Copies of this chain bind each other. A is one copy, B any other.
């Protein structure tokens, strides 16, 4: 089986690559060929016995999608996007990468389908940014998509395209609305939501972290490991059971910042919690209040998607996957 990952150099892309390269199968099929594409050339997968192609590719450039589809990958993971802040600041770039890039991919698949009946599984990484305030809690599966960012708009549009191309039989697509991924490994970044990870990640390695919002803020989380799990399950799931509504809000953990902090205390003690410095930021607080506090996600759960039940577990996953298993 040939698997293509677009956006393979990103955080989820790298983890997905290593999972596939490590297990060398996807469902019942052996993964014998991996194509890894991103705007920066992805690193080759470690320990993979099959054939790996690492490709520098920008989907929004003419011909790129055709090149990627030319090898007729059986499964395509499309994770590539520019992030929310950049898509909001650079309107044209956001639409070019996040909408036109995705559409170019879908069109290349459609043309291949019309040439030789090609019909891959397409797993698309969508986002909870497709919904916008005011929001109920929990958000039902049938809630409308009224994004309040251009990024969320582009994801919502791609969801609609994915359903329509699937309905026409051009490919067999599934859209995965990822919760905020927490604990995001790596360095602190400038994202407004970055503190959800940093208030846990930094104290776990004896570093200070800044908390800009009240402990009462509630948000919707999943670990990087679960995010990769969603992708793998989506790639192998029987989509006949999904029907024409191809975009699913994933399960996750709804937790307040206070609950995150208490989980940190249980796992790493008071000294870790003491490293969280409160620096209230009215703008970030206001943004957070508009974000999703949690989804019902009953369709996804019924289809076998699973996520963590507690922040203790999310922290333990981080310690296992990023910190060698112990503090």
Q: Are A163 and B168 in contact (CB under 8 A)?
A: no
Q: How many copies does the complex hold?
A: 2
Chain B residues, CB < 8 A from A148: 167, 244
Smallest CB separation, A169 vs chain B (Å)? 11
Could you say which of B132, B147, B164, B245 contacts A153, with CB atoms under 8 Å apart? B164
Q: Are A144 and B143 in contact (CB under 8 A)?
A: yes
| A168-B91 CB under 8 A given contacts A153-B160, A160-B156 | yes
| A142-B145 CB under 8 A given contacts A163-B153, A164-B153 | no
Kindly state whether residue A146 has any CB partner on chain B within 8 Å. Answer: yes
Chain B residues, CB < 8 A from A110: 91
Q: Are B147 and A145 in contact (CB under 8 A)?
A: no
Could you say which of B143, B153, B244 contacts A161, with CB atoms under 8 Å apart? B153
Kindly state whether residue A150 has any CB partner on chain B within 8 Å. Answer: yes
Find residues 151-167 in chain A having any chain B CB closer than 8 Å to their own CB. Answer: 153, 156-157, 160-161, 163-164, 167
Smallest CB separation, A80 vs chain B (Å)? 20
Chain B residues, CB < 8 A from A147: 160, 163-164
| A146-B91 CB under 8 A given contacts A157-B157, A157-B161, A161-B157 | no
Chain B residues, CB < 8 A from A164: 147, 150, 153
Could you say which of B142, B145, B150 contacts A168, with CB atoms under 8 Å apart? B150
**Residue ID in chain B nearest A132 by CB atoms:** B244
Give the size range of A's interface with the partner.
20 to 34
Chain B residues, CB < 8 A from A145: 144-145, 160
Find residues 108-142 in chain A having any chain B CB closer than 8 Å to their own CB. Answer: 110, 132, 141-142
| A143-B142 CB under 8 A given contacts A153-B160, A164-B153 | yes
Q: Measured between alpha carbons, how far is A156 from B167 in the docked complex, in Å?
A: 16
Smallest CB separation, A102 vs chain B (Å)? 12
What is the 8 Å Cβ interface bit string for chain A, positions 68-109, against chain B (1 contact, 0 not)?
A: 000000000000000000000001000000000000000000
Smallest CB separation, A156 vs chain B (Å)? 5
Q: Are A244 and B153 in contact (CB under 8 A)?
A: no
Q: Measured between alpha carbons, how far is A244 from B168 in the docked complex, in Å?
A: 32
Q: Measured between alpha carbons, how far is A101 from B284 in the docked complex, in Å?
A: 37
Interface centre among A153, A161, A164, A244, by most chain B C-beta atoms within 10 angstroms, is A164
Which 9 A-B pairs rank lowest in CB-CB distance, beginning with the nearest?
A153-B164, A144-B144, A146-B245, A157-B157, A153-B160, A142-B144, A156-B160, A157-B160, A150-B164
- Other than A142-B144, A153-B161, A153-B164, give 18 A-B pairs with Cβ distance below 8 A: A91-B110, A91-B168, A132-B244, A142-B143, A144-B144, A145-B145, A145-B160, A146-B244, A146-B245, A147-B160, A147-B163, A148-B167, A148-B244, A150-B164, A150-B168, A153-B163, A156-B160, A157-B161
Question: 6 pairs across A/B with beta carbons < 8 Å?
Answer: A91-B110, A144-B145, A147-B164, A148-B167, A153-B161, A157-B157
